[in-house]
Structure 1
Amino acid sequence: MSRKYLIRITELERLLSEQAEALRQRDLQLSLVEETEAFLRSALARAEEKIEEEEREIEYLRAQIEKLRRMLFGTRSEKLQREVEQAEAQLKQREQESDRYSGREDDPQVPRQLRQSRHRRPLPAHLPREIHRLEPEESCCPECGSELDYLGEVHVVQAFFQC
């Protein structure tokens, strides 16, 4: 064979070996990517299981708090109040853990709308007022003769409004 063909053959062999090495490198990278993907999928499955477990725990704690509140409604026991507070604290902790696992930790808190109070505004000062005092007929007790004590007063306002 001629020298020209030998050079060409060695050049082709070199190119072939370079391509084979590049192919081996890509196969190695592909296997690493597949291993990483499998690891991430298993980690995701574990995290989802953890989130579901935490959400079940949260629901259980909410039900327990609701039960304790119903028990507390009838009687005001300090022990029940402490149990409710402990359950609420545990619920808040579980919700924070669940938020951390689910990525909702950085969500902004939406403030609750405040209810307007239903306090009655005072009547205008220019309205006429009538005062009726009901004094007892006697200042002494008819049975024992002791002086009667002042018990208090009642303020009643009857107002009629027209629109």
Structure 2
Amino acid sequence: MQNRILFYLRSKFALMAISLLFLGCSAQGFEGPTGTVEGKLTMKGQPLTPGTIVTFISVEGFAASGKTDSEGNFSLMFRGADQVPVSHYRVQLAPARKSEDPQFDTNLTNHRGRSAARPKRPFPEKYSASTTSGLEVDVREGSNLPLIIDLE
């Protein structure tokens, strides 16, 4: 009898703990105003390599990112959803990964003489860091107009 009571109480406690965990969080684990962000990334009017990663980083520590398609279009995602917290963001870029970039440089070697392939950067290095890119964007609540980011 005492074992049944203990089992019942443990089951109720576990169920209550799990319920509280899910009730306190939104789908993204973020509560506050959000917006959706889509855009187009080009360099001198031409799309960059498909799979180029566009990352927005805010002072609060939010980071949202997306990958470009063959036309340079991207949509930002934040914690697996398209709702990005409203804030001021600095932008940084990363080259496409090997599997996505047909112009991958495989003629490099590392300090041990092994292949050290890395993607050719399709943009100036300054765009690789949010602190040096000079690209800044305000995300507003709701749908943000498609952003056009044309690199020099």
- TM bucket normalised to smaller: under 0.3
**Could you state the TM-score of these two structures normalised by the residue count of structure 1?**
0.26
Of structures 1 and 2, the one scoring higher in RCO (CA 8 A, sep 6+) is 2
| Larger relative strand fraction | 2
Q: Which has the larger radius of gyration?
A: 1
**Could you state the TM-score of these two structures normalised by the residue count of structure 2?**
0.28
